Chain A
Amino acid sequence: MSNTEMFKDRNISEDYFLLDIEDYPTTPWEKFKRVVKRSFKGELFVGLWVVLREMIKFDIHTIQYPEEKLPIGPRYRAVHEMKRLWESGTERCIGCGLCEKICISNCIRMETRYDENQRKEVGEYSINLGRCIFCGYCAEVCPELAITHGGEYENASEQREHFILYEDMLTPIDDVLNKKQREFQGFGAITPHEDERLKKTPLAY
């Protein structure tokens, strides 16, 4: 069984069983008998033993958070990242505005203009993280795989309306040239083996 398979099976598994619960005692004598039975059955000592065993084993599960962190999944939807093209390092965003349009909490704002080659380029681009619900629609809709989610989840600010600027989200140019940029695997990403499923356009034959 692969390790995600257990999540797919939504049926109650075979190991479920109903607890055998005794009837509640009604007469005082039965109540007394139950107390005696429970007192001398040693259940209390089982409890004591269990916690003592855990203390002796010293199998501590605490993650000391700022120093240690749990790994997060590659599909985790935290603060957005703007990606660059692998080959040239230019920004992937073409300023189409789809993300601004689809954002259901209206938190993306952008301004575009023509650059000197009459190509569209992004002037201002900001995401109001105080309003973003991290739904992932922007990453899904982006035709260029330019805006994606990233793994950065530690944000603190004095106010909710903390804007995140384009420069903060953009992958640094050095990272791309050193092949350190990591593609997002979650919402909107290309499915694995996409190459094999690709059909050539009719013009090619």
Chain B
Amino acid sequence: MDMAYLIATIVKIVVILLVFSALAGLGTYFERKVLAFMQRRLGPMYVGPYGLLQIAADGIKLFTKEDIIPANVVRPIFKIAPVITAATAFMAAAAIPFMPSFTIGGYEVKPIVSDINIGLLYIFGVMGVGLYGPLLGGMASANKWSLISAARSAAIFISYEVVTGLSILAPVMMVGSLSLIDFNNWQIENGWMVWYQPVAFILFWIAAFAETGRTPFHLVANDHEIIDGFGTEYSGMRWGLFFIGEYANMFFISFVIPLIFLGGFGEGTFIDGLIFLGKMSFFFFFFLWTRAAWPDVRPDQLMWLCWKVLMPIAVLNVVITGIVMM
């Protein structure tokens, strides 16, 4: 392993960490603004021009707030739970190519930390581990709301993972690889995956809402039912880590969906890169959009949906894909 590779990798990791931590903050700003506009409000307006510095104000607040650890909690687990959520969200980013590769000063930069051949499996595995954050945090909190939230996160976990895995199986069968780079290259030759696998696309998109815990599957921290769920007992930056994890996850999923189904960044020219960012922005915007428009489902409805509707469709899709490919 030569030195240049090592340095490049470390630089990439640092850049991804910094960019996506900042984006998570910016994500909250966009969320507030978009929700506000959709509800005929103005959203944050006072800190900075058009409230742009609200992110900084929130950051200062989160960092300087007292870190309260309540008396009856299981201390080590309570402390480690937010780190799990945030860390796994960023670990998942290691196998996502964020942009087409470009050259700086004769050195070719691939904006992916590591193009491992089990990319997709790794991403969903690590993102799945992320749900241990709410689960453990909720169970360790010594709070009834948190406990309900932990139970729900387990319920969601076993439901949506099946759909995610099975829906992605059909595209994987067609491409014959788990690497997102291979997905991208396959789509350059054969056109967008969504034309071949529309059902898988819809299923995966639905599962992505459960994966990131967004409305209509915002059950784990549903404010009007269980306060902040697993986050009820958390304060300061520990709570902030949960938050960063959630938003980073939203961004990463918004990158993964176009990469798998909508042609990714294609040939990798500058224009392609911009179009790719546009696609990614649309999916991120859609997360906010649905939050303004749709109600939440109940946990049992989500499980019903995942196990009795989406999973059979996903299995059928895999079988039919297999028959067609033979």
Binding site for B on A (CB under 8 A): 35, 44, 47-48, 50-52, 54-55, 58-62, 64
Set of chain B residues within 8 Å of A54, measured between Cβ atoms = 37-40
Report the separation of the CA atoms of residues A60 and B294 in the bound assembly, to the nearest whole angstrom: 21
Cα–Cα distance between A64 and B289 once the two chains are bound (Å): 24
Report if B309 contacts A (CB, 8 A).
yes
Tell which of A55, A59, A64 has the most Cβ of chain B within 10 Å: A55
| A35 surroundings in chain B (CB, below 8 A) | 309
| A55 neighbours in B (Cβ, 8 Å) | 34, 37-38
Q: 20 pairs across A/B with beta carbons < 8 Å?
A: A35-B309, A44-B293, A44-B294, A47-B293, A48-B294, A51-B39, A51-B289, A51-B292, A51-B293, A52-B289, A54-B39, A54-B40, A55-B34, A55-B38, A58-B37, A60-B42, A61-B40, A62-B40, A62-B41, A62-B42
How distant is B189 from chain A, measured CB to nearest CB, in Å? 33
User: B38 contacts A61, CB within 8 Å?
Assistant: no
Q: Does B290 contact A (CB under 8 A)?
A: yes
Q: Which of B284-322 contact A (CB under 8 A)?
A: 289-290, 292-294, 309
Q: Which residues of B contact A64 (CB under 8 A)?
A: 42, 45
The CA of A141 and the CA of B54, in the complex, are separated in Å by 51
Q: What's the least CB distance linking A53 to chain B, in Å?
A: 9
- Docked Cα-Cα span, A47 to B294, in Å, equals 7
For the residues of B in contact with A, the DSSP-based class is: helix
Set of chain B residues within 8 Å of A44, measured between Cβ atoms: 293-294
A61 touches B293 (CB 8 A): no
CB neighbours of B293 from chain A (8 A): 44, 47-48, 50-51
Which chain B residue lies CB-closest to A46?
Answer: B293
Given A35-B309, A58-B37, do A48 and B42 touch, yes or no (CB 8 Å)?
A: no
Judge whether A60 and B38 touch: CB under 8 Å. no
What chain B residues lie within 8 Å of A61 (beta carbons)? 40-41
| A62 contact set on B, CB distance < 8 A | 40-42
A35 vs B313: C-alpha distance when bound (angstroms): 14
- Which residues from chain A contact B40 at a C-beta distance below 8 Å? 54, 59-62
**A contact residues around B45 at 8 Å (CB):** 64
The listed residue (B37, B290, B309) touching A48 by CB distance below 8 A is B290
**A57: nearest residue on chain B (CB-CB)?**
B40
A58 vs B294: C-alpha distance when bound (angstroms) = 20
- Nearest-neighbour CB distance to chain A for B66, whole angstroms, equals 25
Question: CA–CA, A70 to B45, complex, Å?
Answer: 19
Residues of B within 8 A of A50 (CB): 293
Residues of A within 8 A of B289 (CB): 48, 51-52
Q: Which residues 259-306 in B have Cβ within 8 Å of A in the complex?
A: 289-290, 292-294
A80 to B39, CA, bound (A): 37
Cα distance, A67 to B285, chains bound together (Å) = 31
Report the bound CA distance from A44 to B286 in whole Å: 13
B residues in contact with A59, CB < 8 Å = 40
In chain B between 28 and 55, which residues have their CB closer than 8 angstroms to a CB of chain A?
Answer: 34, 37-42, 45
- List the 4 shortest-distance A-B pairs measured between CB atoms, nearest first: A47-B293, A51-B38, A62-B42, A55-B37
Give bound CA distance, A58 to B39, whole Å: 10
Q: Is the CB of B38 within 8 A of A52?
A: yes
Q: Taking CB as reference atom, which chain A residue is nearest B46?
A: A64
Minimum CB distance partner of A53 in chain B:
B38
Which residue of chain A is the closest to B42 with respect to CB atoms?
A62
B217 to chain A, nearest CB (A): 14
A residues in contact with B42, CB < 8 Å:
60, 62, 64
Q: Quick one: closest A residue to B308, CB to CB?
A: A32
Nearest CB in chain B to that of A44: its residue: B294
Give A129 Cβ to nearest chain B Cβ, in Å: 29
**Cα A58 to Cα B37 with chains together (Å):** 7
